[in-house]
């Protein structure tokens, strides 16, 4: 993990459920940039708190499942998100469980957010559904949405609610796409490598390349979402590089069917 985010004297370090966590300074910088809106420092602070809590919960999902299999996991939060390393999964299916435990923890946090908000404000499942439609880009019922928003006690509460909803619903769904190195892409790789031990890993990278490439084009042309378009384009490039590297490895007689042990 040091190659991803080298240690600095300014890292925040703490233990959570016996799992060491390190937060690189760039995590705060990138998160603040993503949440910057009209110089509203309070709004940015709420966004950063929600991102921090959500990513820690996500990575703790990976970590606790890794501990279940006898690992000694550690977590680092850096510029583009988080990384959990345990390195002790002995079978591909243990690896599969560790991978999906992260998104699972995020969905549990989403459920907790909905339950707590309902208990505190009286919002109904239908109210939450309209906000979730808004988050994923589906047109909501504006009347229901406005009425639901009025139930939230103040602007700050509404921002906490919406940010947690956006991060733990939208980001979790994106993270489950079959694109390596997202969790969905890694899980797809585990399954495909079991079905086709000789070619599964290579084919999973081909699927990742095509999926990320198509999404980059659609997002860039149709939605105008430049950030996500560049994000997906970057993943397409990463998978192209992996395919090139695997081609060179096979030229020297090396195999990749035991990738999960590396």
Tokens of 70: 């006898």
pLDDT digits (tens), the chain, 262 positions:
445 678 899 999 999 999 999 999 999 999 998 888 777 899 999 999 999 999 999 999 999 999 998 889 999 999 878 999 876 667 888 999 999 999 999 999 999 999 999 999 999 999 999 999 999 888 899 998 999 989 998 888 999 999 999 999 999 999 999 999 999 999 999 999 999 988 889 999 999 999 999 998 887 766 666 778 888 999 999 999 999 888 777 655 555 544 434 4
According to the model, what pLDDT value does residue 231 have? 86
| pLDDT of res. 223 | 63
pTM comes to 0.88
Q: Hey, what are 206's tokens? A: 């081909």
- The sheet with strand 19-23 has its strands ordered as 12-16, 19-23, 74-78, 81-85
Cβ-contact 28, 48 below 8 angstroms = yes
Give me the pLDDT at residue 261, please.
42
Q: Is 48 exposed, middle or buried (0-12, 13-18, 19+ CB in 10 A)?
A: middle
């Amino acid at each position: 993990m040091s190659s991803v985010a080298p240690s600095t004297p300014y890292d925040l370090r703490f233990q959570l459920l016996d799992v060491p966590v390190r937060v690189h300074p760039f995590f705060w910088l990138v998160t603040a940039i993503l949440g910057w809106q009209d110089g509203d420092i309070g709004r940015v602070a709420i966004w950063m708190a929600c991102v921090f809590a959500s990513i820690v919960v996500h990575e703790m999902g990976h970590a606790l499942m890794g501990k279940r299999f006898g690992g000694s996991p550690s977590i680092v939060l850096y510029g583009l998100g988080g990384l959990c390393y345990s390195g002790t999964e002995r079978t591909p299916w243990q690896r599969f469980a560790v991978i999906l435990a992260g998104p699972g923890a995020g969905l549990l946090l989403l459920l907790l957010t909905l339950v707590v908000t309902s208990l505190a404000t009286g919002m109904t499942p239908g109210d939450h559904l309209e906000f979730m439609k808004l988050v994923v880009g589906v047109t909501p019922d504006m009347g229901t949405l406005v009425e639901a928003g009025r139930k939230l006690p103040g602007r700050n509460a509404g921002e906490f609610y919406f940010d947690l909803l956006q991060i733990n619903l939208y980001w979790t769904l994106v993270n489950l796409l079959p694109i390596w190195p997202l969790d969905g892409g890694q899980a797809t790789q585990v399954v495909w490598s079991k079905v086709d031990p000789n070619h599964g890993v290579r084919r999973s990278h081909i699927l990742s390349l095509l999926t990320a490439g198509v999404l980059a084009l659609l997002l860039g042309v149709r939605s105008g979402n430049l950030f996500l378009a560049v994000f997906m384009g970057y993943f397409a490039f990463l998978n192209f590089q992996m395919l090139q590297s695997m081609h060179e490895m096979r030229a020297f007689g090396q195999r990749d069917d035991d990738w999960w042990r590396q």
